[in-house]
Structure 1
Amino acid sequence: MFQKNFIWGTATSAYQIEGATQEDGKGKHIWDVFTKEEGRIYEGHTGEIACDHYHRFRDDVKIMKELGLNGYRFSIDWSRVLPMGTGKVNERGILFYSELVDELLKSGIEPYITLYHWELPYELYKMGGFMNKDIVEWFGEYAGLISERFSDRVTHFFTLNEPQCFIGLGYLNGEHAPGLKAPIQDTFLMAHNALKAHGRAVQMLRQKAKQQIWVGYAPTGAMSYPKTKKPEDIEAARQHLFSMQEISNWTWNVAWWSDPVLLGHYPEEGLKLYERYLPKITDEDMKLISQPIDMYGQNIYNGKCIYMGKNGKPEEVKRYEGFPTTAAGWPVTPECLYWGPRFLQERYHMPIYITENGVSCRDVISLDKKVHDFDRINFLQRYLKEMERAISDGVDIRGYFQWSLLDNFEWNQGYSQRFGLIYVDYESQNRIWKDSAYWYQNLIKKRCCD
C-alpha cells in the first residue's frame, strides 16, 4: 500500500553524530557545556567526537545510498552556523551543511532539514534562552538564514524537534541540558515562547525561500491504543492521547504542543488545569504560533493500552509481568504506529511523516565480525506492519524516518544505547552494517518496486 514516492529514510541529529565541537569556528551550545558537568552524563561521555560525521559525512552518505534511502532527516547545529546564536555567520559551518546537502542530492537522497534538535547556542542561553521573548526573533533570524542558504536545493524543513523533551527534560526535571528544575510557571512561559519561535521560523523560512518549500513540525509523545476494537475503547484511547498530564510531568502530552500549531488554540482542558501557571496568551501570539504548515511530523516509539472504565473515563491497562521492553527499558507496543497516526490525522487533518521510530538493542560484534540484531528486525517488522495497516485504512502517511542511521551519543545516556542500523566502533570509527541494515535495504527495494 506504499506509494511510489513514499519516503524511506533515516534520521539523525547534529550533536549526536557530528563531533568536531571546537572546529572551524563553531560556537558553544548548551550540550557542549552540560556534558562537562560532573555526574550529568553516563560515565562522563560527551559528543566531542561522537561518530565523527563532520569529517566522514561523505562515507556516511555512501552508506545511505547503498541502503537505498530516498530521504534523510538531519538537524543543523544552530551554533555551528551562528556561533553567537545571532549576528555574524560562520561560513565554514554553512559550507559543511552545504556540502552534505550536495552529497545527498548527488546520491538521489532528499534532504529533510530540522532547524532545532536541542542545540541552543550557549550565548543565547546566557541571555535567558527560552525565557527571553527575544528567542522568537533569534530563531526567526536563524531560520531565515537557513532558508536563504539552502532552499535553492532543499525543499523540506522541520522547525522544532520534540519540544516536550527539550522543555520537559531540560527545564522541568533537569535530566537534559541545561539541567534545570525551573519553577512550573517558567516552563509554561518557555513552552509558549518556543511555539512562538516555531511560528516565526515558519514565516522566515517562507519569506527567504528561493522556491516552493514544505514546512513542518516534529513533536513527540506516547501514543494511546485501545484494548479492544469496541467503539468505547477506541474513544477512550482517542481521549487519552489528547489529554493533559499531571503538573509534575505536564510537558509529556500531545495536545498542548500540537493544538496551538494546527488548530490555533490551546486545549480547553489544559487552560483550565494549568491556569495558575500560564503566561499571558494573546490572539496575536496564537496567530503567530498557528502559521500554516504543510506536513506534520511525529516521533513515535511506544504507547499505552487504554480502555473505557466503568466510570466513563479512560483507564490504562496495566502491563503484565515480563512485558517486552527495549534495551532502553521502553515498552514494545507496535499498535501505537497504527492508532497514533490514525488519531492524529482525525484531529489535525495533515499529511503525516513518522519523523522518528526505532529501538535500542544490546548490539555486539559477534565472533564472525558481524552484528546480528534480530530484536531490531523483529521490532521494525512489527511496527511497520502496523504503519502499513494505517496507510491501508486511509491515513495519509508520506514517509518514515528510522531512528537512527548510526549508533550515536544518546544524550544523558551517553554511548550506552545503540539505536543505529549501522554499528559504530567508537575507538576506530569503523562502521559495520548490522543485520537490520540489510533487512531495511531489502525492505526498501521491495516496497519501492511493488
Structure 2
Amino acid sequence: MPLSRNDFPPGFLFGTATSAYQVEGHGLGGAGQTHWDSFAATPGNVSRAENGARACDHLNRYQEDLDLVADAGFDLYRFSTSWARVLPDGTGTPNPAGLDFYDRLVDGMLARGLKPALTLYHWELPAALADLGGWANRDTAHHFADFAALMARRLGDRVWSWATINEPWCAAWLSHFEGHHAPGLRDIRATARAMHHIGLAHGLGLAGLRAGGADNAGIVLNFEPAFPAEDTLTARAAANRYDAVFNRFFLGAVTRGTYPDLVLEGLGPHLPDRWQDDLPGIAAPLDWLGVNYYTVKHLTEAPGPWPNWRTVPGPGPKTDMGWDIAPGALTDLLCRLHDKTSGTLPLYVTENGMAAPDGIANAHVQDEDRIAYIAAHLRAARAAIAKGVPLKGFVIWSLLDNFEWAFGYSKRFGLVHVDFETLARKPKASYAAVQAILKGRAS
C-alpha cells in the first residue's frame, strides 16, 4: 500500500469505526430491548438466528479495543451510542450504567489522544418506541431530540464531533420498504413516514445537540452511484429513480429542504399531513457531511408499481457481500456532493471498507484483497481532494469483525479478526498496512 500521510493535506484525519449494537453486547449493562432484538428473535430474519446480545463484548473489552485504535495510529474513533442502553424505554429515566459506560469510553479515547466522533443513532430503536409505531410515528422524532440533548449535556464537553443519524436510507427504506432490517416491514405508507420522520429527527436532534452545548454536528448519509445496466431509455429511467431515492432524497432534505419529484411520485400520497412545514427544520445548517461509500448499483426496469427497478450485478470484482468494487466512483461522488452542497461544506468519508472471506493461516489473516480495496479508495479520495473537494478525513469500516445485521457474524469487515467463540482479537495484515501508512513506515 504505497501511500503515506504526506499524500494528504496537513490536518487530514484518519479514523476507524464501529457501532453500538454491532460490538457492545446489548444483553449486558442494563440496556433496554430494541427492535433489532425482536427482529433477530424472529425466525428467518438473521443468518443462523444470531443476535447482538454478546457481539464482541466491547462493553467490557473497550480498553483493549481503544488500544488497537491508538496503536494503529488513527486520529479519531467513530462510535455510536445505543439509545436503549441510555434510555431503556426510549424516554424517561436514564440507565446510569449506560451513561457511565459512554463516559468511560470517551475518556478512554481522550486518554489515548483520539478524537471521539459520536453517532447518536445507528439503527437500534428502543422496542418501547417501536411498539408505538417507531419511525412511522412522529413522536419518535421528538423523543430522539430529547435523547440528543441528554447526550450533549453529558458528553458535550469532550466529544469532538456529533452525527445525528447514520444512514437514514437504511433505517427507513431498507427497513420499511424492503424489509431487510428491523422492523422488517414492506409497507409504502410506513416507508414514507419513516423517511420523513427520520429527517425530522435529524433536524430536531441538531437543535437538541446545540441546546445541550454540543457543536461540530452533522449527519452521515450513505451513497450508491446508480448506472443503467443497459443503454435503453427504461434502464436510464430506472437508474434515475434509484438515484433519487437512495442518493438525492436525504441529501436534498438536509442541505436544501427539498424532496425529489421522482420520489414524491411514489411516496407523496403517503407522507404525513403538512410535511412541507418540517422541511426548513430538516435543512438546519450542518457543520459537516459524512459520506459512507462502499459500492455502485446497476439498474434496469422491472414490472410492477413504482419504483419498478431491478438491480443487476455489474462487471468486475465483488466483495464478500457481492458488492461491486468501484473506487473510481468515489472520486466522482465526492465531486458531485461538493457541487450539490454549499461548495464550502466540509466532507468526511465516514465509512469505507470491505467484507472478505478472511481465514487464519499460520496464525495470520493475510487479507490482501482488503488492503488493495482500502488503498484504491484512499487514492480515489486523494483524487477528489486534487479536484478541489474539501474532504477532511477518511474513516475505515470497521475496526472489528462484528454483528453484520441480517448477515449475523458471517461477514467480516474488520481490520481486526474476532474469534466469536473466544472473542480473541487478532490484527489482520490490513491493520498492519494501514498502520504503516499512518505511522509513516514503508509498507
**TM-score over 0.5 (shorter chain):** yes
Q: Specify which of 412, 429, 440 is matched with residue 435 of structure 1.
A: 429
| More off after superposition, 216-225 vs 87-96 | 216-225
Q: Specify which of 8, 11, 28 is matched with residue 5 of structure 1.
A: 11
Contact 2:20–2:122 (CA<8 Å) still a contact in 1? Answer: yes
Q: Distance in 2 between matches of 1:38 and 1:317?
A: 26
Q: Distance in 1 between matches of 2:368 and 2:18?
A: 22
Q: Distance in 2 between matches of 1:266 and 1:4?
A: 37
Code of the residue aligned with 1:202 in structure 2: it is L
Matched, 1:45 2:21: no
Post-superposition CA distance 1:402-438 (Å, at most 9, x none)? 0000000000101110000000011111111100000
Percentage of pairs with the same residue: 37
Matched, 1:338 2:331: yes
Structure 1 residue matching 2:116: 3-state secondary structure: strand
Question: What's 1:104 paired with?
Answer: 109
Q: Distance in 2 between matches of 1:167 and 1:320?
A: 25
Matched, 1:357 2:357: no
Code of the residue aligned with 2:323 in structure 1: it is W
After the TM superposition, which residues 375-414 of structure 1 pair with which residues of structure 2 at under 5 Å, given as runs?
375-414=369-408
Q: Distance in 1 between matches of 2:17 and 2:39?
A: 23
Q: Distance in 2 between matches of 1:47 and 1:69?
A: 26
Question: What's 1:347 paired with?
Answer: 340
After the TM superposition, which residues 134-173 of structure 1 pair with which residues of structure 2 at under 5 Å, given as runs?
134-173=139-178
Code of the residue aligned with 1:337 in structure 2: it is L
Q: Distance in 2 between matches of 1:225 and 1:385?
A: 22
Q: Distance in 1 between matches of 2:426 and 2:238?
A: 38
Structure 2 residue matching 1:245: 3-state secondary structure: helix
Matched, 1:208 2:208: no
Q: Specify which of 288, 294, 304 is matched with residue 287 of structure 2.
A: 294
Matched, 1:278 2:271: yes
Contact 1:352–1:398 (CA<8 Å) still a contact in 2? Answer: yes
Post-superposition CA distance 1:35-84 (Å, at most 9, x none)? 11112111111111111100000010001110001111111000000011
Structure 1 residue matching 2:218: 3-state secondary structure: strand
Gaps of at least 5 residues in structure 2 are: 1-6, 300-309
Q: Distance in 1 between matches of 2:425 and 2:87?
A: 31
Contact 1:225–1:340 (CA<8 Å) still a contact in 2? Answer: no
Q: Distance in 2 between matches of 1:255 and 1:332?
A: 22
Contact 1:164–1:221 (CA<8 Å) still a contact in 2? Answer: no
Question: What's 2:194 paired with?
Answer: 190
Code of the residue aligned with 1:205 in structure 2: it is L
Q: CA deviation at 1:241?
A: 12
Q: Distance in 2 between matches of 1:278 and 1:77?
A: 28
The structure-2 alpha-carbon separation of the partners of 1:317 and 1:163, relative to structure 1 and needing over 3 Å to count, comes to closer
Q: Distance in 1 between matches of 2:292 and 2:24?
A: 21
Contact 1:223–1:241 (CA<8 Å) still a contact in 2? Answer: no
Aligned residues: 421
TM-score by length of structure 1 reads 0.88
Matched, 1:62 2:52: no
Post-superposition CA distance 1:340-385 (Å, at most 9, x none)? 111011101321111110000010110x201100000011111111
TM-score by length of structure 2 reads 0.90
Q: Distance in 2 between matches of 1:102 and 1:242?
A: 45
Q: Distance in 2 between matches of 1:296 and 1:241?
A: 27
Q: CA deviation at 1:332?
A: 0.6
Structure 1 residue matching 2:59: 3-state secondary structure: helix
Q: Distance in 2 between matches of 1:260 and 1:395?
A: 21
Q: CA deviation at 1:175?
A: 1.4
Q: Distance in 2 between matches of 1:279 and 1:165?
A: 20
Question: What's 2:247 paired with?
Answer: 254
Code of the residue aligned with 1:5 in structure 2: it is G
Contact 1:352–1:397 (CA<8 Å) still a contact in 2? Answer: yes
Contact 1:224–1:240 (CA<8 Å) still a contact in 2? Answer: no
